[in-house]
Amino acid sequence: MSDLKQALGEAVSAAFAAEGLSADYGRVTVSDRPDLADFQSNGALAAAKAAGRNPREIATGVLERLKGDPRLASLEIAGPGFLNMRLTSDTLTARVREIAADPRSGAPMVEPRRVLIDYAGPNVAKPMHVGHLRSSIIGESLKRLFRFLGDEVLGDAHFGDWGFQMGLLIVAASDENPAWARIAEQDDGEIEGLDLAVLDRLYPMAAGRAKEDKDYRDRARRATMALQSGKSGYLRLWRHFVEVSRTALKREFKALDVEFDLWKGESDADPLIARMVEELKAKGLLVEDQSAQIVRINREGDKRELPPLLVVSSEGSAMYGTTDLATILDRKESFDPALILYVVDQRQADHFEQVFRASYLVGYAHEGALEHLGFGTMNGPDGKPFKTREGGVLKLHDLIEMAREKARQRLHEAGLGAELSPEDFESTAHKVAVAAIKFADLQNFRGTSYIFDLDRFTSFEGKTGPYLLYQSVRIKSLLRRAEAEGHSAGPIVIEEPAERELALALDAFDAALTEAYAKRAPNFLAEHAYRLAQVFSKFYAACPVLIAPTPELRASRLALSQTTLRQMETTLALLGIATPERM
């Protein structure tokens, strides 16, 4: 099964080729003048330019060859040499029936590969900030998309549990309470009272102090080193920190509908580090530099100098890059992915470039099998990375709570949800909140930064998640009403302009998926969902469904509504957005 755009493109390409021109000119796009055409080809203009010929003359040659294609109702040359194509109603009807009969709503499948997606990347005891939020939202969507198209995918949270912040926490806990200090130093006693609230307080305090106090910093460095060397009391405290943080984080991710297949941490790569260091040495890649061990990753032709990858610090501890490199080895041996995607803040671009290059050098991955998918920041109204009114980082938990409160308010204002039970109302408000946050993020290309504006994100009007939920719920209620009145769906027939437009929008699902997949960019799916909602809304206004002029037409329009709803819910699910039954 192939979408109409692609099928037409193949026909136009063949026509160009038959004219002795490159088939590449045959690319077809959705017409920007739907009143005149469904699809257009601009290839004659480019071909004419390259060949020094007249574009209309080329277009005429192509047109002559396409004449007689039974799928085309009309075929015209416009302006300097655009080729405008309109499809017959039968062609659209056949295509939509195909989509309606397909449980995948017309989605393509890819040649399956093993793909690992590294996203969210929360850290022990450090509150998650908006960078982690964006990574979670984008990564979750990519995971669902890749899996839907047929890849074997694992999502890994890559928990930050092995670096300097662990040493800081051990020092801070030891200073705070003699009982905890005894556990740290003598591995003696039970851990009591060291809960999330304590961690939340200790970490920022310790991080702040380490910035100013060199002795404190050195203690934390030594503690990190001792932990990594296996000091038993430190390990016990550390395990406790990890457990407390992970439990809290899992709760927050669940609220966001973000799920990982693996909850591996940086620490899981630790057992592989010694071997990795040996392999780097054996390949002559590891060099000593100011009593640290580094890998030089510069390449000829680099526009700027990239610092080397620090593998073993002068204290002998593993660094961020060390665990990342060893994690690639771990992933290769446990899953052997053809592709690893790292969904991490653009500001870590250099770090990943260093790790990737080192990994190619030592042979843990093929060139190109590692991709850093950077993203921009979520900013406050001042254009700087978002901070709370108090100037701190916004915790994910608080963000969700804020969005939920706003969603309740929005539902009330719009007169929605009044007939729901209190539990259903809460569940709908939660879905509206999550849709608002996620859609606001995913509608932008991931590289773009955007401004956090909860008022706009939660509106039921405009290009928002709540608008899409509202349109979906509207279709659901239409279908429920039809059922209550005893009407059922029947064969789809595409006739009216609004039906044609809806058919073309449904056909465009394939291209949206293909593009989102190729560019690792869910915004193409967000765009598709929005377009589908808008076109459905137009159709609903122009074409009566329940009171259609004939029973056949009613059955056709009901089927068209069902098909739209299913494709819409599929698209939203790929964005990580769940649709409520009622509002």
Residue 41, strand partner residues: 83
- Closest distance of CB 23 from ligand ARG, Å: 42
**Contacts (Cβ under 8 Å, ≥6 apart) of 14:** 23, 26, 65
Q: Is 140 in the site for ligand ARG (CB under 6 A)?
A: no
Q: Is 237 in the site for ligand ARG (CB under 6 A)?
A: no
In this complex, which beta carbon is closest to ligand ARG, that of residue 66 or of residue 373?
Answer: 373
Q: Which of 56, 134, 158, 372 binds ligand ARG (CB under 6 A)?
A: 158
Q: Is 499 in the site for ligand ARG (CB under 6 A)?
A: no
In this complex, which beta carbon is closest to ligand ARG, that of residue 126 or of residue 438?
Answer: 126
The count of residues interacting with ligand ARG (CB under 6 A) is 8
In this complex, which beta carbon is closest to ligand ARG, that of residue 121 or of residue 417?
Answer: 121
Instruction: Find, among 2, 4, 153, the residue nearest to 73 by Cα.
Output: 4
Phi, psi of 486 (to 5 degrees): 80, 20
Residue type, 29: T
In this complex, which beta carbon is closest to ligand ARG, that of residue 162 or of residue 539?
Answer: 162
Cα–Cα distance for residue pair 7/1, rounded to 1 Å: 10
Q: Is 160 in the site for ligand ARG (CB under 6 A)?
A: yes
In this complex, which beta carbon is closest to ligand ARG, that of residue 270 or of residue 324?
Answer: 324
In this complex, which beta carbon is closest to ligand ARG, that of residue 121 or of residue 337?
Answer: 121
Residue type, 99: I
Q: Is 344 in the site for ligand ARG (CB under 6 A)?
A: yes
**Contacts (Cβ under 8 Å, ≥6 apart) of 88:** 70, 71, 72, 73
Residue 267 in tokens = 């620490």
Q: Is 465 in the site for ligand ARG (CB under 6 A)?
A: no
CA atoms within 13 A on the CB side of 468: 35
In this complex, which beta carbon is closest to ligand ARG, that of residue 130 or of residue 277?
Answer: 130
Q: Is 527 in the site for ligand ARG (CB under 6 A)?
A: no
Q: Which of 38, 324, 501, 569 binds ligand ARG (CB under 6 A)?
A: 324
| H helices present in 303-421, as ranges | 320-334, 349-362, 396-413
- Tell me, rounded to whole angstroms, the distance of Cα 265 from its chain centroid: 21
- Closest distance of CB 313 from ligand ARG, Å: 17
In this complex, which beta carbon is closest to ligand ARG, that of residue 130 or of residue 574?
Answer: 130
Region class of 363: left (phi > 0), else alpha (psi between -120 and 50), else beta:
left
> What mask of x and - would describe binding to ligand ARG in positions 349 to 388, judged by CB under 6 A?
----------------------------------------
Q: Output DSSP code: residue 82.
A: E
Q: Is 121 in the site for ligand ARG (CB under 6 A)?
A: yes
Cα–Cα distance for residue pair 200/108, rounded to 1 Å: 46
Cα–Cα distance for residue pair 138/135, rounded to 1 Å: 5
In this complex, which beta carbon is closest to ligand ARG, that of residue 157 or of residue 312?
Answer: 157
In this complex, which beta carbon is closest to ligand ARG, that of residue 106 or of residue 122?
Answer: 122
* Helices 130-148, 509-519: inter-axial angle, 10-degree rounding: 120
- Closest distance of CB 326 from ligand ARG, Å: 11
Q: What angle is formed at CA 35 by the lines to CA 29 and CA 41, rounded to 5 degrees?
A: 25
Cα–Cα distance for residue pair 338/332, rounded to 1 Å: 9
Cα–Cα distance for residue pair 121/338, rounded to 1 Å: 21
In this complex, which beta carbon is closest to ligand ARG, that of residue 375 or of residue 457?
Answer: 375
- Closest distance of CB 331 from ligand ARG, Å: 10
> What mask of x and - would describe binding to ligand ARG in positions 100 to 119, judged by CB under 6 A?
------------------x-
Cα–Cα distance for residue pair 264/282, rounded to 1 Å: 28
Q: Is 321 in the site for ligand ARG (CB under 6 A)?
A: no
- Tell me, rounded to whole angstroms, the distance of Cα 546 from its chain centroid: 38
User: Which residue in this structure is represented by tokens 């490199």?
Assistant: 325
The strands making up 292-295's β-sheet, listed across from edge to edge, are: 286-289, 292-295, 309-312
Q: Is 342 in the site for ligand ARG (CB under 6 A)?
A: yes
- Closest distance of CB 122 from ligand ARG, Å: 7
**Contacts (Cβ under 8 Å, ≥6 apart) of 462:** 456
Which residue of this chain has its Cβ atom nearest to ligand ARG in the complex? 121
Q: Is 472 in the site for ligand ARG (CB under 6 A)?
A: no
Q: Which of 84, 123, 136, 562 binds ligand ARG (CB under 6 A)?
A: 123
In this complex, which beta carbon is closest to ligand ARG, that of residue 343 or of residue 473?
Answer: 343
Binding-site ranges for ligand ARG (CB under 6 A): 118, 121, 123, 158, 160, 324, 342, 344
